[in-house]
Amino acid sequence: MKNFWNKLNKPFFALAPMEDVTDTAFRQVVASIGKPDVFFTEFANVDGIFSAGEKKVFPRLKFTSKEHPIVAQIWGAKLENFTKAARLIAEMGFDGIDINMGCPQKSVIKQKACSALINYPEKAKEIFLAVKRGAGDLPVSIKTRIGFDKIQTEEWIGFLLELEPAVLTVHGRTVKEQSEGLAHWDEIGKVVKMRDKLKSKTLIMGNGDVASLDNAREKCQQYGVDGVMIGRGVFHNPWVFNPEVDLNKVTIKDRLKVLEKHLQLFEKSWQGEKDFNILKKFFKAYIRDFDGASELRTKLMEVNNPQEVHNLLQGDALQRTKQL
Ligand SMILES: Cc1cc2nc3c(=O)[nH]c(=O)nc-3n(C[C@H](O)[C@H](O)[C@H](O)COP(=O)(O)O)c2cc1C
């Protein structure tokens, strides 16, 4: 069994899958400034891969050698497409496959997919087995929540543990809670105890509201999880996975340099294929906590292409040099 998860030092830290955020360009940026132990792709629809929607789905599965170990995250409706997609993902050189059983978007719930599976555990099992059939020796993991309308840790997570996925990533909220309130880390701790009681080999990764490596380590100590997944925290601190970087000491020059790098990687990866406006959500991650940051961001929000961003950044840097 080619299970890279078992070779990781514990605790391990992963960058969460985030649609329109964690594409190959951003993952390469993160890999260069503070690499997590594991990357995940944005969720990719298996039915889309094998239909006319192929063009929309395939970019989500694009990755480079700098992003290993990388896990492809999938979702969908048709069992045979899960098996076919798993086979394809294995051929593409991914290190693992993750099944999304947590996305709360109404459009996916309508299709009885992702988090809706919490209400259809037998279907969840069929999907897991279908992915296993195609995955060969790649480890298959599941990312989910602790319940649908209410906390159902014992029934739902108990059910998933019986399937023995390689890893179970638990976002400590119900579907109804979306991203509101605080994640229920006590429930995640309960999952670890359930796993231990079953003497299961499944690794447990906790997820929800963690925004620093120190906090991630505390969570591992307090709740016994094998690893922690960090999502939105990367927007506050793109260096979040680098234990040697003190955010307060990152210079303006370094911040602008990383944004420039992101721009270059975005252009190189997508060559006009992807809407440039997607990049705008990153400006606040890089351009913050220095004099003039807010003004520069306002100007950046008005631009229409990478060259204009580049010109603005160059102009800003020149201005600063003159002020010295
Ligand atoms: C913009 C955005 C996109 C997301 N896309 C995905 C996704 O494609 N697959 C997935 O499993 N979770 C997705 N999530 C959920 C995150 O992976 C994570 O579970 C959630 O943000 C909680 O973790 P955090 O508090 O560290 O952000 C997304 C979250 C955000 C904010």
Ligand 1 site, residue 143, Cβ cutoff 6 A: yes
Spatial CA neighbour of 143 closest among 87, 106, 104: 104
- Last residue in a domain, options 207, 236, 265: 236
Question: Which residue's alpha carbon is nearest to atom 23 within ligand 1?
Answer: 208
Give the CATH number of the domain where residue 313 resides: 1.10.1200
C-alpha of residue 144 to centroid of ligand 1, in Å? 11
Using 70 as the pLDDT threshold, list the residues of the chain that sit under it.
Answer: 1, 324
Mean per-residue pLDDT over the chain, rounded: 95
Rg (CA), the chain: 20
C-alpha of residue 22 to centroid of ligand 1, in Å? 10
- 21 CA: nearest ligand 1 atom: 1
Within this chain, do residues 263 and 161 fall inside the same structural domain, yes or no?
no
What confidence score (pLDDT) does residue 1 get?
Answer: 54
Whether 115 is in a domain gets the answer yes
C-alpha of residue 19 to centroid of ligand 1, in Å? 7
What confidence score (pLDDT) does residue 49 get?
Answer: 92
Ligand 1 site, residue 278, Cβ cutoff 6 A: no
What confidence score (pLDDT) does residue 324 get?
Answer: 63
What confidence score (pLDDT) does residue 320 get?
Answer: 77
Within this chain, do residues 222 and 119 fall inside the same structural domain, yes or no?
yes
pTM: 0.97
Sign of CA dihedral 267, 273, 276, 279: negative
Whether 32 is in a domain gets the answer yes
Ligand 1 site, residue 5, Cβ cutoff 6 A: no
- 100 CA: nearest ligand 1 atom: 11
What confidence score (pLDDT) does residue 302 get?
Answer: 95
What confidence score (pLDDT) does residue 272 get?
Answer: 87
245: exposed, middle or buried (Cβ count in 10 Å: 0-12, 13-18, 19+)? middle
What confidence score (pLDDT) does residue 316 get?
Answer: 81
Whether 185 is in a domain gets the answer yes
* DSSP helix/strand/coil, 169: strand
For residues 269 and 23, the answer to whether their CB atoms sit within 8 Å is: yes
- Which H or E run includes 3? none
Whether 244 is in a domain gets the answer no
Question: Which residue's alpha carbon is nearest to atom 20 within ligand 1?
Answer: 231
Within this chain, do residues 79 and 139 fall inside the same structural domain, yes or no?
yes
What confidence score (pLDDT) does residue 189 get?
Answer: 98
Ligand 1 site, residue 259, Cβ cutoff 6 A: no
| Tokens coding 64 | 């480079």
* DSSP helix/strand/coil, 117: helix
> Domains in the chain: how many in total?
2
What confidence score (pLDDT) does residue 323 get?
Answer: 72
Spatial CA neighbour of 282 closest among 263, 257, 265, 308: 263
Whose structure tokens read 């309308």? 149
What is the separation, in whole angstroms, between the first and last Cα of the chain? 58
314 Cβ partners below 8 Å, 6+ apart? Answer: none
Within this chain, do residues 211 and 288 fall inside the same structural domain, yes or no?
no
What confidence score (pLDDT) does residue 118 get?
Answer: 98
C-alpha of residue 180 to centroid of ligand 1, in Å? 13
- Last residue in a domain, options 201, 236, 271: 236
What confidence score (pLDDT) does residue 223 get?
Answer: 98
Give the Å distances, CA to CA, from 11 to 85, 109, 203: 30, 33, 10
- 169 CA: nearest ligand 1 atom: 19
266: containing domain: 251-323
Please tell me the distance from the alpha carbon of residue 210 to that of residue 212, in angstroms, as a whole number: 6
Q: Which one of the listed residues 86, 103, 183, 230 is annotated catalytic?
A: 103
Whether 182 is in a domain gets the answer yes
Ligand 1 site, residue 15, Cβ cutoff 6 A: no
What confidence score (pLDDT) does residue 54 get?
Answer: 81
C-alpha of residue 319 to centroid of ligand 1, in Å? 38
Whether 103 is catalytic is yes
